[in-house]
Structures are given as C-alpha cells and as structure tokens.
Copies of this chain bind each other. A is one copy, B any other.
Amino acid sequence: MFEARMAQAALLKKVLEAVKDLVTDANWDCTSAGISLQAMDSSHVSLVSLLMRKDGFDMYRCDRPISLGINIASMTKIMKCANNNDAVTLRAEDEGDTVVFTFESADQEKVSEFEMKLMDIDSEHLGIPEREHTATVKMPASEFHGICRDLSTIGETVQVSVTKEGVQFTASGDTGKGTITLRNNSSVDEESQQVVITMQEELSLSFALRYLNFFTKATALADSVTLSMTADLPLVVEYRIEDTGYIRYFLAPKIDDDDDEDNN
C-alpha cells in the first residue's frame, strides 16, 4: 500500500506544469524515502529528475517500493479538478493497476475522488551522478525565465559565459544579437534576488533555448534557480522545492561553441 497526502494541491499542480511539456509518460517511483521520477523528454534530448522526499508530505506511507506508470496528461487533467488549497491524497494498492486521487476542500464540504489507470512504462532509470561543476550560477528563477523567453525571440541558441564578475547570456539570429549580463551580486539583501557565482574557471557553453524554455515551466516552484556547468557535460538546471526536494533538468551543450556560429 502506498499513500501520501499533501496539504496543498497547488504544489503538485506546479510540479506537473514543470514536467508535462517535456514528458508524456513517466514512472513515479515511490519508496519509503519518498517519490522520485526520472524521464527523458520525448525527443531524447533532455532529462528531468524530480525528487519529493517523504518529509514534504503531511502523511506518507509506502509499505514496499512501487513504480506508478503515469500518463502525465491524464494526471494533469485530474489535478486541474483540484482547487489550489485542497488537500490531495494519492493512494495505490501494491498489486493494483490504478492510483486514486482524493481532493478535500478546506471546509470539508466537498470531497472528490479520481481513479486513474496506471501504465506499464519501460523505465530507463538512469543513475545520475552528483558531481562537482566548474561553474554554478544561482539567480532569481523569474530572471532566468525572462532571459530565456527574450532571447528566444532573437535566436535558437544561447551562449552562457561565466566569469567571476558575472554571467552573460547571448543569442544571435537574422534580426540581430542580444546580450544580457547579470553582475555577481551576492551582497543583495533579499536572498531570492541574488546572483551568486561559484567557479573554478571561466567557461562558456551554448544551449538550445527550446529546451531551456521547457525547463522554466518550473519557475513557479522556486524563487531561485541554479545552473551548474562543466565543459562537455550536460547543464543542470535545478529548482529546489521548499522542504521537499527538487526538480532538475539536464541538457547537453551544443558542440559548436564558438562566436562565429551564425546558422542558428
């Protein structure tokens, strides 16, 4: 028996928003420690990794590990039926082929139950090593969101260049070129507004904006986002989910990492 209850449906809704454009089906792997999900996007370019630890839940019970194969669109539809401050309970029998969502309104006058069929999904459970990166940039999530959106109107690729002084995002295309520079400002009062750079050496990598724009669907989940970069290794874009875990996205850099590239 698996059963987990969270006080605010809003959280799960936001998680789905952050996943649904990238992934059609995924296994939600539930253990006594919590829920995790790993999936490649449908074009096998990027990877999403979600962790929700059991302490992020009001109530959490998982008698034995269970993998819930879920169609994300169906789950999204169901979660749309919850109000943001409904309590949500997920329940699955060990040998069952369904999961049941229960929504309870704050005033207890309304209870909704949605039963969803589970799927069999080949899970490519990729062990992703936690590694040190050459450079990390922590910045306001909404700032990153805006930068990716804006640069998309210029070109398809963004070049991210990190120095001790700051981070620079550049895109170019037919209409011209756009560059956005954020200064390292870890001294700003509000932590959520800080731009904090940690690095061993300067570095410059290019990424497909199309995927970054999918990643920024997680903006509602966290005030800050952290970009972790190492030459020739995938970028990691991490949003911490308060008290609960994180959602991380992985995206390999474009190989043509030079300024002369003009065929975006």
Contact = CB atoms under 8 A, between A and B. Distances in A.
Interface string A93-130: 00000100000000011111111110000000000000
Interface in A140-183: 143, 150, 153-154, 174-183
Instruction: Give the interface centre of A116, A143, A178 by most chain B CB atoms within 10 Å.
Output: A178
Interface string A68-110: 0001001001101100000000000000001000000000111
Number of copies of this kind of chain in the complex: 2
A32 to B, nearest CB: 26
A181 B81 contact: no
Contacts of A185: 109
Contacts of A113: 177-181
Contact of A176 (B108, B117, B177, B178): B117
A67 to B, nearest CB: 18
A109 B140 CA distance: 13
A195 interface: yes
Contact of A114 (B111, B143, B176, B181): B176
Interface residues of A, number: 34
Given A80-B153, A81-B153, A153-B81, A178 B114 contact: yes
Contacts of A115: 176-178
B112 A180 contact: yes
Contact of A110 (B74, B77, B175, B181): B181
Nearest to A150: B81
A179 to B, nearest CB: 5
A87 B74 CA distance: 46
B117 A175 contact: yes
Contact of A111 (B110, B112, B153, B181): B181
Contacts of A71: 175
Contacts of A183: 108-110
B153 A77 contact: yes
Nearest to A182: B110
Instruction: Give the interface centre of A109, A115, A117 by most chain B CB atoms within 10 Å.
Output: A109
Interface of A: 71, 74, 77-78, 80-81, 98, 108-117, 143, 150, 153-154, 174-183, 185, 188, 195
